[in-house]
Structure 1
Amino acid sequence: MARKKVLLMGKSSAGKTSMRSIIFANYIARDTRRLCATIDVEHSHVRFLGNLVLNLWDCGGYAEAFMENYFTSQRDTIFRNVEVLIYVFDVKSEERDKDIHYYQSCLEAILENSPKAKVFCLVHKMDLIADSHRDAVFAQREEELKRLSRPLEVTAFKTSIWDETLYKAWSSIVYQLVPNVSELERSLQQFAEIIDADEVLLFERATFLVISNSLRREHHDDHRFEKISNIVKQFKLSCSKLSAQFHSMEVRNSQFAAYIDVFTPNTYVLVVTSDSTLPSSAMLINIRNARSHFEKLEQAQESAVVR
C-alpha cells in the first residue's frame, strides 16, 4: 500500500480543516462551524482508489509560533517526501504580507526537501466576494502567486465550501496522484464510443471526486462535474442518515438520460446519453459488461501504486 504525503498549510482560520472535513469526512458546509482550530499538525490517512493512501498533514496556523516551528525545528520532518503542497489563502485576510511570507517560506522548504512536489494554491472563502468581482479578484491573486512562486510552478483555484468550486479544486489535485490515468481515460473513451454515450465520468467511491471523464459532445456547463459530485454526495449523506445504502440513480427527461451506478470496488460511473428512449435495462447491461475490464484496470493501477 503506497502512501502519498499531502501537506495542507495556511494561516489560522483560512479554512483548511473545514475543506478537509467536507471532502474526506462527509461533513456538510454548515456543520464545519463546530470544528475547532487545528493545534500543531494533525495527521490523517485516507484510502483512495484501493491501494493509494493519502497521508494528509493538516498543519495548523493557530499561533505564529507553530508556523515558525514548521520552518525551523520541524522543517525536515514536515517538508520531506511531500508529493503535494496545498497552501490555503483566506481571500479576505487582513494580513496578506504575513500570508505571503509564510507561503514563500513553505516554497523554500519544499525546494530544499521535496523539489519534485506539485504545488497548489487555494484562494479560499470566495463566497465573501461579490459575484461580479470574483473573477477579477482571483485573476489578480493568481498572477501574483505565480510570480512569487518562481522557479516552482503553481496551480491556483478559487474555492468556497458553499459551492462546487471546492470539489473542482480537490478533483484536480487528486487527479495528479492517480497512477496510469492516461490508460484509464483511453478505456473510458472506448467505452463511451461503444455505447454511443455523450459523456462518461468516473468518481472515486468514498469522496465522489471526479477521477476521469470522456466527453463526446460539447456541454455548456464547465462546472457540471463538481456540481454532480456535490449533489450526489449530499444525497448519499441523506441516505445514510435514514440507514439506507446509496447504490444507483437514474435521471431522465425528453432531452437526455443519465445513469449513476456502482462500477468497480472503488468507483462509481455516470453515463449520459441524448437517447432518452433507450431502455434502462439496456444501459445497465452495458455498464455491467464493462465492469470486468475496469476492475482489471483498477487492479493493475493498484499494482503500479505498490511498485
Structure 2
Amino acid sequence: MGASGSGKTSMRSLIFSNNPASLTARLGATIDVEQNHVRFLGDLILNLWDCGGQDSFMDSYLTTQRGTIFKQVGVMIYVFDVESREMAKDLEYYRDCMAGLKQYSPDAAVFLLIHKMDLVREPRQPTFLKKKQELEEASGDTGVSVLPTSIYDESLYKAWSNIVHTLIPNASILSKHLNTFASACSATEVILFERTTFLVIATSSQSNTDVTDGDNTELDGKRYERTSELIKAFKHSCLRVREEFRSLEMELYDFTAVLDEMTRNTYVMIIVHDPTIEIAALRLNIRLARRKFEELQSDSLTS
C-alpha cells in the first residue's frame, strides 16, 4: 500500500524480478491491484498484491473492496515517499488501512517503509527519525516496524529481508543449525540466501553484535544487505553476457569467502578469517551439509 508514485512497483521489480534500478523509470503506474504469485524457497508461495495508490483506487479499497483487500493478510507494507507534500492525506489513508487490517486481519505484521531516502541530503538519520516518530504516533498502540529504503542502495534488501523473514516458518531452526555448521567450518559467519531474490533467510549470528567472539574483527552492520545487492548486480551482469551464475569464491589478505548452492532453493556464504583453512575444505563441508539442510528446509515449510 501507499500513495501513487511512492515507489511500490519499483521496489517490487528490483526484489522479485531482478531488474536493476536503472530500468525502474520505464515502469508505469499500477492500475487497481496487480497480483503476483512469487515462488519463494521452492514450496512457499507469496501472494503479493501491489495496490495502485491513486485516490480513486484507495477509496475503493477502503469501501467496496474492503473485505477483499484486507482479508487474510500476512503482512501489510505501507510505503511513504519521504518527500511527499501530501503527508496529511497519506497518513489519513494509512490510518484507514490500519482500521481495515484490524477488522479483517488483526494478526498481520505491519512494515512502514520511508522510501526514496536517497533524495534526502546528508545527514539523513534526523529526517528518518522524525518521520519514524510521526508514523509511530499515527499507529497508536499497534506495533509497527519502520525502515528507511532506497532502490539505489542496500537498505531495500535489509527491509525486504526483514519482511520475508516474518513469513518463513521456523526460521530460527535454520539459524540454529547454521551456528552448528559455522562451528564445523571454523567460520566467522555463515549466511543463507534465498536463491532467486538473494534475500537473507538466516544467519549463524542471531545476535545484533558487530564483533565476533573469537577475535576483534569488526563486521559491517550492513554486510548482509550489501552482499545481496552486489550478488544480484553480478548475476545481472552474467545474464548480459549470456552466462549463468553458479558460485563465487574470494581469497583476500584478511578473509576468505565462499558462496555456493546449499539446497535447490538457497545459497550459502561462508566467511572465514583463518588463513590456514582451504577453500576446498569449505566446499567439502557445503557438499556434506546439503542433504541435512534440504531436510530442514522441507520441515520448516511443512510444519
Map of 1:101 onto structure 2: 92
Unaligned runs of 5+ in 2: 206-211
Q: Give CA-to-partner distance per residue, 1:12-32, whole Å, 9 cap, x none.
A: 000000000000001100100
Unaligned runs of 5+ in 1: 1-8
Note the C-alpha offset of 1:219: 3.2
Note the C-alpha offset of 1:279: 2.0
1-side partners of 2:97 and 2:275: how far apart?
52
Map of 1:6 onto structure 2: none
Q: Give CA-to-partner distance per residue, 1:241-298, whole Å, 9 cap, x none.
A: 2221111100111111000001101100000000233222111101111111101101
2:192 aligned partner, one-letter code: L
Q: Any idea what SS the aligned residue of 2:250 has?
A: strand
Q: Any idea what SS the aligned residue of 2:204 has?
A: strand
Map of 1:68 onto structure 2: 59
Map of 1:291 onto structure 2: 290
Q: 2:81 aligns with which of 90, 95, 114?
A: 90
Is 1:43 the counterpart of 2:42? The answer is: no
Q: 1:128 aligns with which of 119, 131, 137?
A: 119
Is 1:197 the counterpart of 2:196? The answer is: no
The range that moved more, 71-80 or 272-281, is 272-281
1-side partners of 2:133 and 2:261: how far apart?
41
The answer to whether the Cα contact below 8 Å between 1:252 and 1:276 also exists between their aligned partners in 2 is no
Q: Any idea what SS the aligned residue of 1:50 has?
A: coil
1:219 aligned partner, one-letter code: E
Map of 1:117 onto structure 2: 108
2:194 aligned partner, one-letter code: E
1-side partners of 2:52 and 2:136: how far apart?
24
Map of 1:161 onto structure 2: 151
Map of 2:270 onto structure 1: 271
State TM-score, norm by structure 2: 0.95
The range that moved more, 251-260 or 238-247, is 238-247
1:221 aligned partner, one-letter code: D
Hey, which of these two has a bigger chunk of strand by percent? Answer: 1
| Alpha-carbon RMSD | 1.0
Q: Percent same amino acid at aligned positions? A: 49
How many pairs were matched up? 294
After TM superposition, list the pairs within 5 Å mapping 1:129-144 onto structure 2.
Answer: 129-132=120-123, 134-144=124-134
Q: 2:26 aligns with which of 34, 40, 43?
A: 34
The answer to whether the Cα contact below 8 Å between 1:50 and 1:302 also exists between their aligned partners in 2 is no
The answer to whether the Cα contact below 8 Å between 1:200 and 1:214 also exists between their aligned partners in 2 is yes
Note the C-alpha offset of 1:302: 2.7
Map of 2:7 onto structure 1: 15
The answer to whether the Cα contact below 8 Å between 2:172 and 2:202 also exists between their aligned partners in 1 is no
Note the C-alpha offset of 1:72: 0.2
Map of 1:173 onto structure 2: 163
Map of 1:242 onto structure 2: 241
Is 1:25 the counterpart of 2:24? The answer is: no
Q: Any idea what SS the aligned residue of 1:43 has?
A: strand
